[in-house]
Structure 1
Amino acid sequence: MSTTTTKPSTRPGRPARRPAPKHRGRTIATVVVVLLVVAAALSTKVVSNDSELLVGPAAFDAATYGEQQFPEVVSYVEENAVDAVELATALQADPTAAQQFGVPSSSGIGAVVPVSFTGTVGAPDQTGLPVVTVPGVPAGFLVHVQFGPAINGTDLRDASGEVSLNDFENQIQYQDAGAALNDQVKTQVLAPLQGQDLTGRTVAVQGVVTLINPQSWNVTPTSVEVQQ
């Protein structure tokens, strides 16, 4: 019987993996923290206590808006006003003709048109507004003027077509802007007329009208001159 003897392998074995030193993990974590701190420092802007950056956007001041914008509206009307006779004659032929003289209203109903005329002030009708008889305006057209004390509508705000809801933070500011312009009419245009009875008087008027009803106008004046 032969005996087989297994010789031990002379091939060296693979050395066991040594665990990473514990301090290496702490070093990596420290480096990451340092990098984050440096990045935060680089992106941080130091602002002094009196910096304008600490002041938020100014609150909307309707009165200031009215004072600043009313002269612009007056200038726009002076430059673009359509004679009332021309406007009424065009509307008599084609009620949609108003669009060529003005801009669409913010409500989408009717056109907003700057207009001028000279006529005689009559008594108020069922609308509560005086009717101004304008020579040359076709029969069936009623020209009313808002002589106050209340001034309604957003005709002045919408006159140029360049002011929209997007110019304001919300609908309330948009409405307040229109009301502020109407207040300027009261103080700058109508205040000098207080105490005067305009019935039977001849007046030259420039203003804005929204032609919801093409044959019944409620004009918001930007200027009124009493001629006699």
Structure 2
Amino acid sequence: MTTTAPDRPRRIPTRWIAAAAIAVLVVLMAASTEYRTAETAAAAAPKKFDPAAFGAQNYEAKVVPAIKSAAVELPVLLDALAADKDAASQKYGKRQGTGPYTFAVRAAGEAGAAKSGLLPVTVKDLPDDTKVWLQIGPAINGTALRDAAGFITFGQFTNQVEYADAATALNNQMRDKLLKGLDVAALEGKEITFTGAFTLLTPQTVTITPVEIS
């Protein structure tokens, strides 16, 4: 009597299994891949910082009200700084990191003759050796408006260049909104009031970037 051996399962070659796995993976990748047009890809990309738009959106709506709200009388501030610089700076000033403090101030005084982009103002109740100047352009320097506002921080920007451009954009807005319509020559010898901001470098020379002059 002849006995027939049972059929053994046929082994599938390893290379076939690998090829099938790769094919399944390709199908899954294709199914999960989102194909985007150039337009949708551009819309999804991070938007480039627009300094002009930032200035237009923030200067009148946010920065000017913030500086006016925080403004302290200039003689009061300078007296406080002379008495206790650290305490006065922490009470009235704002700063980023370890940089110099920036202050929002208001005052009244007699305007002098403008020169080199600065308008001198004689403010009462200040020490005789203290000089007060308002920046009247055309070049507006510094970051006082940005820093005194209190709500604009470095962390809101991608890098230092954008942070600096934000300050320049606010200065440009101030020049366009305030200074272009101001007859500076007509102010000489007149009593004016002003509100603005300055970064403390020395109490003897206070150079203010204004947001209001009347």
Work out the CA distance in 1 between the residues paired with 2:152 and 2:105.
19
Matches within 5 A, 1:1-228: 21=11, 23-48=12-37, 50-51=39-40, 53-55=41-43, 56-71=45-60, 72-96=62-86, 97-104=88-95, 108-123=98-113, 129-194=118-183, 196-225=185-214
Normalized per residue, the structure richer in helix is 2
Q: Which residues of structure 2 form unaligned runs of 5+?
A: 1-7
Conservation of the 8 A alpha-carbon contact between 2:117 and 2:139: no
Shift of 1:99: 2.7
The structure that has the greater radius of gyration is 1
Could you list the per-position Cα deviations for residues 20-65 of structure 1 after superposition, in whole angstroms to 9, with x for gaps in the alignment? Answer: 75x53343123312321233134312335543x4432222221111
Shift of 1:109: 4.1
Q: CA RMSD in A?
A: 2.7
Work out the CA distance in 2 between the residues paired with 1:124 and 1:94.
33
Work out the CA distance in 2 between the residues paired with 1:140 and 1:25.
92
Q: Which residues of structure 1 form unaligned runs of 5+?
A: 1-17
Segments of 4+ moved more than 4 angstroms:
none
Conservation of the 8 A alpha-carbon contact between 1:73 and 1:156: yes
Work out the CA distance in 2 between the residues paired with 1:42 and 1:68.
43
Could you list the per-position Cα deviations for residues 123-164 of structure 1 after superposition, in whole angstroms to 9, with x for gaps in the alignment? Answer: 468x87332112223433222111222211011111134323
- Taking structure 1 as reference, are residues 202 and 164 closer, same or farther at Cα in structure 2, changes over 3 Å only? same
TM-score normalised to structure 1 length: 0.78
Shift of 1:80: 0.8
TM-score normalised to structure 2 length: 0.83
Work out the CA distance in 1 between the residues paired with 2:13 and 2:20.
11
Q: How many residues align?
A: 205
Work out the CA distance in 2 between the residues paired with 1:128 and 1:195.
10
Conservation of the 8 A alpha-carbon contact between 1:131 and 1:145: yes
Work out the CA distance in 2 between the residues paired with 1:94 and 1:199.
34
Deviates more, 1:134-143 or 1:210-219: 134-143
Work out the CA distance in 2 between the residues paired with 1:218 and 1:153.
10
Work out the CA distance in 1 between the residues paired with 2:73 and 2:192.
14
Work out the CA distance in 1 between the residues paired with 2:180 and 2:101.
28
| Amino acid in the other structure paired with 1:154 | T
Matched residue of 2:151: which SS?
coil
Conservation of the 8 A alpha-carbon contact between 1:141 and 1:216: yes
- Taking structure 1 as reference, are residues 141 and 195 closer, same or farther at Cα in structure 2, changes over 3 Å only? closer
Conservation of the 8 A alpha-carbon contact between 1:88 and 1:138: no
